[in-house]
Amino acid sequence: MTLSPERADGRAESPERTGSQAGGGRSHRSGWLVATLAVLVALLMLGHSLVPNALGNSGSLLETFLPWLGASVPVLLGAALLRRSAVACAAVALTAVVWCSLFAGTLLDKSSPGGDLSVVSHNVHDGNPDPGRTARDLAASGADVIALQELTARTAPVYERTLAATYPHHAVRESVGLWSKRPIRDVEPLAIMPWTRALRATVDTPKGPLAVYVAHLASIRVHPSSGFATEKRNEAAARLAGFVREEKLPRVVVAGDLNGTVDDRALRPLTSRLRSAQEEAGQGFGFSWPASFPVVRLDQILSRGVTPVSARTLPRTGSDHLPVAAAFRL
């Protein structure tokens, strides 16, 4: 037998009303939960630099995928509307404002026409099934300079033969290479790791010499036990930054697969000295990996002493990365 609770005047209260009040309490609590989650997301975006790297490089991991925190906004908004919570809706609106303050400018088209020199960088993937087609696609971009990473003994000759007619000047050092319509000289391999993963060359442009660095930093891994494993990449970035710091030419371009974003604090020894073409002259985030559904920009074209006028990604090739391109005014 079910008994109905009594009110203060002694009359029984209906079970339906009691259930409604209980549901309202749950909705109220859920609204505050959604609001709390929204505020936490906003605080993570604003204070990402305060998240320590001591525990599995969690700060760098957060900064690598920082723009994707915005994906929580529609999810949280849906939950807030479902709960009909004004507090939750206000908190989600705050989170949206924070995301916009950080990234809305990235969505604007900052490119301008022209430029004296165009550069394409591409991790062509060592298992690329059709390097000849990839080379033809890259040449069709019309770039003046092409920087390639993940060349192998099998694929490097294919790129050399296919690009020879359009790019008569080239240099390959182990797994990285540079092709240019303009003469190149002073080519040096750079041991940023125990083996060569970078080179430096001078490209003679009509407006003077340009130092071009092609680099492929160490890969990163995510392990359940150790977290975001970036130590080897960070060491390679620091060594590359040292070479760039000692560069004598005033005009510098660094192109390659850095296995990290410009927001990642661990790459600041390099990125703090250079300008990102995508951030200054692109539109959108320019995600380049994985090619099937890009979620992060690991491939960068950085510069010093020149002005980026445009930046973009190119269509997919046979690689797991998208090519990235930029034009500069010298």
How does pLDDT run across 244-264, given as a tens digit for each residue? 999 999 999 999 999 999 999
pLDDT, residue 11, reads 52
Interatomic CA distance for residues 14 and 107, integer angstroms = 55
Selected from 3.40.50.800, 3.60.10.10, 3.10.180.10, 3.40.50.2000, the CATH number assigned to the domain covering 117-329 reads: 3.60.10.10
pLDDT at site 26: 60
224: confidence class by pLDDT, cuts 50, 70, 90: low
Rounded to whole angstroms, how far apart are CA atoms 239 and 257?
Answer: 15
* Mean pLDDT rounded to a whole number for the chain: 92
Tokens of 245: 């710091």
Among residues of the chain, what percentage have pLDDT more than 70?
A: 90
The more confidently predicted of residues 20 and 163 is: 163
Residues 274-320 have pLDDT tens digits of 999 999 999 999 999 999 999 999 999 999 999 999 999 999 999 99
Distance CA 170, CA 215 (A): 15
List alpha helices for the chain, DSSP H. 15-46, 58-64, 72-83, 86-103, 131-140, 156-163, 231-245, 268-271, 277-281
CB atoms within 10 A of CB 253: 26
Burial of 16 (0-12, 13-18, 19+ CB in 10 A): exposed
- Sorted by where each begins, the domain ranges of the chain are 15-107, 117-329
The secondary structure element, H or E, covering residue 202 is strand 198-205
Confidence of residue 1 (pLDDT cuts 50, 70, 90): very low
Lowest mean pLDDT among 25-34, 48-57, 251-260: 25-34
**What is the pLDDT, as a whole number, of residue 220?**
86
Q: What is the pTM of this model?
A: 0.89
The token pair at 149 is: 């990473």
